[in-house]
Amino acid sequence: MSGETRCGFVAVLGAPNAGKSTLVNALVGSKVSIVSPRPQTTRTLVRGIAMYEAPDRTVQVIYVDTPGIHRPRQRFERAMVAAAWAGAADADAVMFVLDADEAAKCLEKTGNPLDADSESIVAEITKSGRQALLVLNKIDLVHPSALLETTARLNAGSAFSETFMVSALTGDGLNRVKERLMAMMPASPFMFPPDDVSDMPNRLLAAEITREKLFMALRQELPYACAVETESWEDKKDGSVRIGQVIYVSRESHRPIVLGEGGRQIKAIGAAARAELSKLLGCPVHLFLHVKVNERWREDRGLYAAWGLDFNA
């Protein structure tokens, strides 16, 4: 480590599915937040910690990945959106992530690159008197001329101090973002041990990995009816770990769908989660999943507390 020490928080905001979690994972350089092709994958604040070095400074950037901001319809969604805005409140920088492909399509269809969700996020940022870094993500999907037109339209507004074009998937453009953030972070001692990549407790991390596999495996509305809780965690003498988890579903009729024919579906979900967890924890994992019907998991204060969500948001 060299020179001056800097440290700060960077809030990563945007509509559902913009690629915020993929971006945070890429900027941290390891997987700290789960990703799926479906909107509303992230449900809590996930802090990913990166260390960047320059000749004259070492910078710890704490990325705060947030749930996609949308118009909430029920308590659980309200808590997710409130958490996202809370993540931005004390941040040293705010990144607004926009799916460039969607923005270009939206511009063509409506004359405005921002859809209703993104438009209201930008309005809120403007109202707060802050300026955000605009991060146009997924540029690997967009034709350069459509990208230029979209960017020109967005820069006409005053919400953004600068624009970055990136692909979180390919890594394109990320160095510029890192360099800019290194300059923006305030002089400060590090807030986390330099080797940490996340502050998420292992029990929650394990539950998130299983939830990611559920999101990948299940169709239609079913992922949204599910929650995962780690019930037991036992470090064994042989260096392995035994993890017991409950998958909550909202209705009895969901149970056979999650289990699959002859239990094949849940077995595959468990195998995928176990493989990833073994890699992340660096030891053999024995993972035991069982499905419980709990119509009211969205009304369970204890679960909100475990996820760091405000029940009364």
Ligand X SMILES: Nc1nc2c(ncn2[C@@H]2O[C@H](COP(=O)(O)OP(=O)(O)OP(=O)(O)O)[C@@H](O)[C@H]2O)c(=O)[nH]1
Residues at the site binding ligand X, with contacts judged by CB under 6 A: 14, 16-22, 35-37, 39-42, 67-68, 137-138, 140-141, 167-169
Residues that bind Mg ion (CB under 5 A): 20-21, 41-42
Q: From the list Mg ion, ligand X, none, pick the one residue 144 interacts with, judged by a Cβ distance below 5 to 8 Å according to partner type.
A: none
| Contact assessment for residue 223 and residue 214, using Cβ atoms and an 8 Å cutoff | yes
What is the rounded CA–CA span in Å between residue 99 and residue 139?
Answer: 8
Which value, to the nearest 10 degrees, does the dihedral of the CA atoms of residues 284, 290, 296, 302 take? -30
Q: From the list ligand X, Mg ion, none, pick the one residue 244 interacts with, judged by a Cβ distance below 5 to 8 Å according to partner type.
A: none
Q: From the list ligand X, Mg ion, none, pick the one residue 18 interacts with, judged by a Cβ distance below 5 to 8 Å according to partner type.
A: ligand X
What is the rounded CA–CA span in Å between residue 89 and residue 109?
Answer: 33
In single-letter form, the type of residue at position 32 comes to V
- Residue among 223 and 285 whose Cβ is closer to ligand X: 223
| Contact assessment for residue 94 and residue 14, using Cβ atoms and an 8 Å cutoff | no
In whole angstroms, the minimum distance from the beta carbon of 35 to Mg ion comes to: 7
In whole angstroms, the minimum distance from the beta carbon of 216 to Mg ion comes to: 14
| Contact assessment for residue 46 and residue 37, using Cβ atoms and an 8 Å cutoff | no
Q: From the list Mg ion, ligand X, none, pick the one residue 64 interacts with, judged by a Cβ distance below 5 to 8 Å according to partner type.
A: none
- Residue among 141 and 280 whose Cβ is closer to ligand X: 141
- Residue among 215 and 241 whose Cβ is closer to ligand X: 215
DSSP string computed for 275-288: HHHHHHHTS-EEEE
In whole angstroms, the minimum distance from the beta carbon of 303 to ligand X comes to: 18
In whole angstroms, the minimum distance from the beta carbon of 69 to ligand X comes to: 8
Cβ neighbourhood burial of 18 (10 Å; 0-12, 13-18, 19+): buried
Q: From the list Mg ion, ligand X, none, pick the one residue 19 interacts with, judged by a Cβ distance below 5 to 8 Å according to partner type.
A: ligand X
In whole angstroms, the minimum distance from the beta carbon of 83 to ligand X comes to: 12
Q: Strand pairing of 227-235 and 241-249? A: antiparallel
- Residue among 168 and 272 whose Cβ is closer to ligand X: 168
Contacts of 251 (CB under 8 A, 6+ apart): 225, 293, 295
For 273, other C-beta atoms within 10 Å of its C-beta total 25
In whole angstroms, the minimum distance from the beta carbon of 25 to ligand X comes to: 8
What is the rounded CA–CA span in Å between residue 246 and residue 232?
Answer: 10
- Residue among 174 and 247 whose Cβ is closer to ligand X: 174
- Measured at CB, which residue is nearest to ligand X? 68
- Residue among 35 and 62 whose Cβ is closer to ligand X: 35
